[in-house]
Amino acid sequence: MPIWYYADALRQRHGPFTAEELAQRLQRSELNADTLVWRDGLPQWQPLRERLAELPDALAGTATDFAYVAVADSSPYAAPAAAIASDERYVAQGEVIDAGFWKRTAALLIDSMVVGFVYYMALIAAVIVLGIGAAAAGSRQGSGLGDVATFGIGMLVYLLYPLVSALYYAGFESSTRQATLGKMAIGIKVTGLDGRRLSLGRALGRWAATLLNYLTLMIGFLMAAFTQRKQGLHDLAAGTRVVDRWAYTAHPDWQVRGLGTAAKVVLILFGILYGLALLGILAAILIPLATQN
């Protein structure tokens, strides 16, 4: 017997349910034709109207016109991850809300932490492996492997970070979610100017274009606060934009215009951390000067 799950208006997943239980909720107008459902065997979440034939006939036949009512109960179970936003579900209609500067900043802060963590973990592992190899080679007189290992460690320090960063940003932003982990948390995604998903090559080009922001002393990033479509310099170069996660879908009315709770929490936490770091630096400078006097 297939087990069903559905997603409410806030994309919270509910389930598991049998087909009969799902049909009963449908009959009580707790679900509607656009409610996204999933069961084992489906490649992605689908509107309920496309799966009505799989519900009990006696109940499904009565569920033609019904309004959505948010369900308050929750479940410790969650449906396996299935792509909701994909090229098949691209809808070029409705209002499009661009992600503003502060939303993008909050996402970038999260992504920077993720990339930094992966980089240091990979670097530590590589240094350990190469270090062991260098030590073993150094024990052999006349062997040049130790110098090679030392050179390899030096190259890793400089080359590993851009490699991890490129794989992370290009891989996630060209995926069906069109967003990095930070952007997913904030509720935004990257698209082409037409709203469609980026190819891997184009996403990689967008990542490479971020170098322009550093060459302009970060002014390229600040441009997202002033351009019409909230595009940074790298977006203008790559022909991309960052929009709400529900833009270019069948539910443009689910878009959020303000910052949102996740973005506010991230910005406040990082603001506190940076403030404490600044106070620590000032204290390290001023306390020795005060004691000298």
Q: What is the chain's percent helix, strand, coil content, to nearest 5?
A: 55, 10, 35
CB-CB contact of 214 with 207 (8 Å): no
pLDDT at 106 over 80: yes
Is the predicted pLDDT of residue 15 greater than 90, yes or no? no
In sequence order, what E strands does the chain have? 4-7, 13-17, 36-39, 46-47, 188-192, 240-244
Whether the full predicted model's pTM is greater than 0.75, yes or no, is no
Average pLDDT over residues 113-128: 92
How do residues 213-237 score in pLDDT, each as one tens digit?
A: 999 999 999 999 999 999 999 999 9
Most confident of 25-34, 72-81, 171-180: 171-180
Least confident of 7-16, 33-42, 70-79, 99-108: 70-79
Q: What is the mean pLDDT of residues 198-212?
A: 95
pLDDT at position 87, please? 38
- Across 30-39, average pLDDT: 86
pLDDT in tens, 138-180: 655 555 556 666 677 778 788 999 999 999 999 999 999 999 9
In the chain, % of residues over pLDDT 90: 48
pLDDT tens by residue, 180-192 = 999 999 999 999 9
Write down the pLDDT at residue 27. 84
172 touches 179 (CB < 8 A): yes
